[in-house]
Amino acid sequence: QVQLVESGGGLVKPGGSLRLSCAASGFSFSDYYMSWIRQAPGKGLEWVSYISSSSSSIDYVDSVKGRFTISRDNAKNSLYLQMNSLRAEDTAVYYCARSLEWLTLPADLWGQGTLVTVSS
Amino acid sequence: DIQMTQSPSTLSASIGDTVTITCRASQRISSWLAWYQQKPGKAPKLLISKASSLKSGVPSRFSGRGSGTDFTLTISNLQPDDFATYYCQQYNTYSWTFGQGTKVEIK
């Protein structure tokens, strides 16, 4: 079954850290660009970060630069997001999504999301 | 960053209606525009890529048009399953950006 499954969300205090994971199955993970996209409660979608298939190209939205780190392990068919120095405004459902190419194809498969809540 | 502006924010319609959602980019993005459908508590689903290419399995009552800065998503013969929130997204730059969403609700 072709799917993406996120995990690792939860409640964390401001300034804390969390590591999200995304497990891919049913397709050739190493062929795809992967991204993290988040959605604050009741709000719209915000792209957070992407990583190329070989990890050679990475980018982040300005608001998380220096705090979040995206990585992947193609041998384990897994994508990660290390989130440090978390703020209340990082509270959101975090989705992982795949794209066969960057700049010419959108995300055609999304996971179900994992909720991150930053609160004291 | 490229800003994406959708209108309207909310749209009330009846079963069988034809509705159109507009998306405007702050700069030209050629046809690198996608449309997604999202239902409450669920992940977004891709409907259309490259402004007008319907994803396999998506009903033909969905159609997209436009290029440059102005785009539309039209849903013909609105069905109960179509009541949801719709987002446009540009993927012309390394930093993707989304419209703020249009909620299609039952009149």
| pLDDT one-digit tens code per residue, B12-71 | 999 999 999 999 999 999 999 999 999 999 999 999 999 999 999 999 999 999 999 999
The answer on pLDDT for A102 being more than 90 is no
Name the band, by pLDDT with cuts 50, 70 and 90, for residue B6: very high
The sheet carrying A18-25 orders its strands as A3-7, A18-25, A78-83, A68-73
User: Which residues of chain B are within 8 Å of residue A108 when distances are taken between CB atoms?
Assistant: 46, 49, 55
| B41: closest chain A residue by CA | A112
Question: pLDDT for B60-102, tens place per residue?
Answer: 999 999 999 999 999 999 999 999 999 999 999 889 999 999 9
Q: What is the mean pLDDT of residues A104-117?
A: 96
Quickly tell me which residue has 């396999």 as its tokens: B56
Q: What is the pLDDT of residue B94?
A: 85
User: Residue B30's closest CA among B1, B66, B68, B57?
Assistant: B68
For residue B55, give the DSSP letter: P
Contact yes or no for B94 and A59 at CB 8 A:
yes
Contact yes or no for B92 and A95 at CB 8 A:
no
Closest CB to B87 among A35, A45, A112:
A45
Q: Does A27 touch chain B (CB under 8 A)?
A: no
Name the band, by pLDDT with cuts 50, 70 and 90, for residue A58: very high
User: Which residues of chain A are within 8 Å of residue B91 when distances are taken between CB atoms?
Assistant: 99, 102-106
User: Which residues of chain A are within 8 Å of residue B46 when distances are taken between CB atoms?
Assistant: 106-109
